[in-house]
């Protein structure tokens, strides 16, 4: 995601902060495995908002640009960045998640919806307290646990305001009628959105889901609901499981220990002595985008590293390590390209901020003198 933002491919509305349709298409191609549903923006919609809430990007002329914090993020532990994004989303989200339940009309009327902060914190607390790590819990079980523990993300400001939201018709379809505003309809859909669109996008939970059409029927008795095939795009979420990363991000675990790497998995790229990087089987769009930041594509499945391409990445801020290294070995561990296996045994230029000047230090004579 940071690579896409650094490449200037992510655009959002200056007013709503929401990603444009073009940005959603771009992210749909970059996301590993695509989005959760074909033709439905869930993860692709969430990521630009997560980057903004976490302070990793900011809008400038309708385009997301990296911040100083985001340039340091790749050098630190990924789990720390994910935990930061989740906590910032709960406290500094730039969009009311309930607005994503578009079938509920009348939300934009003044003094209808409650403050988003307490609602987000209620869902975050429920995820931390009502879900045991590595154990599946159905959505209905989670709703019941939230009711008994008092975690209530009620999205409507007051009983009087409850008459303003409606389905299909403002008078006959109002949610203010008895039996038309049960927890699964209001609190439930809000909870589904936060979990499915943001917690799942960050990789905090594993999910079991089906197509949303016809998945949940608790709203059918409302006037006009018989015309709706679903109440929200999140209706297909059946069960969630808090994984080790989620346990760490929510405070259920003190640290995060990733599982072992799959046995027998080989790197999709090979570095050659002539500084060509070859991907015989091709690369995912996200991997190709990352490689484009440091090398120039010279043929199908082939990229070439050069002093010019590395310096271009350096001056563009794509090589994030800026702390001086005391030895070539420390420098080798600190460069972004070496961490991704793109530089082989060659060492990249090192940038050190010295006031208004930038000093490039090359540990390799080959790098220093090569044109």
146, two tokens: 């939230």
Tell me, what's the pLDDT at 318? 62
In the block, tokens 């016809």 appear at 214
Mean pLDDT of successive 10-residue segments in the chain (371 residues)?
A: 84 94 90 86 95 93 89 76 95 92 94 95 97 96 96 94 94 91 92 97 96 90 87 96 96 85 60 84 71 82 85 69 43 40 39 38 45 42
Do 53 and 85 contact (CB within 8 A), yes or no? yes
Tell me, what's the pLDDT at 354? 36
Q: Identify the CA nearest to 185 among candidates 163, 160, 216, 207.
A: 216
Radius of gyration of the chain (CA): 24
Q: State how far the alpha carbon of 113 is from the alpha carbons of 159, 198, 269, 348, in Å.
A: 11, 20, 50, 53
| Alpha helices, DSSP H, located in 161-284 | 187-193, 244-249
pLDDT tens for 76-97 read 678 999 999 999 999 988 899 9
Beta-carbon count within 10 A of 352 CB: 14
Q: State how far the alpha carbon of 169 is from the alpha carbons of 24, 164, 174, 178, 227, in Å.
A: 31, 11, 7, 16, 12
Tell me, what's the pLDDT at 309? 83
Tell me, what's the pLDDT at 75? 61
Beta-carbon count within 10 A of 21 CB: 9
Q: State how far the alpha carbon of 315 is from the alpha carbons of 222, 294, 325, in Å.
A: 59, 11, 19
Do 205 and 246 contact (CB within 8 A), yes or no? yes
Name beta bridge partners: 37. 40
106, two tokens: 């009348």
Which helix (H) or strand (E) segment holds residue 28: the answer is helix 21-30
Q: Is the pTM of this model over 0.85?
A: no
Tell me, what's the pLDDT at 74? 64
């Amino acid at each position: 995601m940071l690579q896409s933002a650094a490449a200037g491919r992510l655009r959002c509305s200056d007013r709503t902060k929401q990603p444009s349709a073009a940005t959603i298409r771009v992210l749909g191609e970059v996301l590993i495995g695509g989005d959760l549903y074909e033709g439905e923006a869930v993860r692709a919609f969430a990521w630009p908002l997560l980057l903004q809430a976490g302070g990793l990007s900011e809008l400038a002329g309708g385009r997301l640009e990296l911040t100083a914090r985001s340039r340091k993020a790749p050098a630190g532990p990924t789990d720390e960045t994910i935990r930061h994004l989740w906590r910032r989303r709960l406290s500094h989200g730039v969009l009311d998640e309930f607005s994503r339940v578009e079938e509920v009309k009348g939300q934009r009327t003044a003094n209808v919806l409650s403050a988003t902060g307490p609602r987000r914190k209620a869902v975050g607390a429920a995820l931390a307290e009502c879900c045991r790590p590595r154990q599946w819990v159905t959505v209905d079980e989670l709703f019941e646990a939230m009711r008994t523990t008092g975690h209530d993300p009620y999205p409507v400001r007051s009983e009087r305001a409850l008459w303003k939201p409606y389905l299909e018709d403002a008078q006959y379809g109002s949610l203010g009628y008895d039996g038309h505003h049960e927890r699964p309809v209001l609190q439930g859909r809000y909870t589904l959105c936060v979990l499915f669109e943001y917690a799942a996008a960050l990789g905090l939970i594993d999910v079991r889901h089906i197509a949303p059409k016809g998945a949940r029927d608790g709203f059918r008795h409302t006037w006009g609901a018989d015309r709706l095939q679903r109440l929200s795009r999140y209706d297909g979420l059946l069960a969630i499981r808090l994984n080790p990363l989620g346990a760490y991000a929510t405070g259920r675990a003190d640290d995060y220990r990733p599982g072992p790497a799959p046995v027998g998995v080989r790197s999709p790229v090979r570095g050659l002595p002539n500084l060509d990087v070859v991907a015989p089987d091709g690369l995912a769009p996200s991997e190709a985008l990352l490689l484009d930041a440091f090398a120039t594509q010279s043929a199908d499945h082939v990229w070439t590293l050069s002093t010019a391409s590395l310096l271009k990445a350096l001056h563009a801020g794509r090589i994030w390590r800026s702390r001086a290294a005391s030895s070539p070995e420390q420098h080798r561990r600190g460069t972004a390209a070496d961490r991704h296996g793109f530089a082989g045994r060659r060492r990249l230029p090192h940038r050190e901020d010295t006031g208004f000047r930038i000093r490039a230090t090359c540990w390799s004579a080959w790098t220093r003198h090569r044109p």
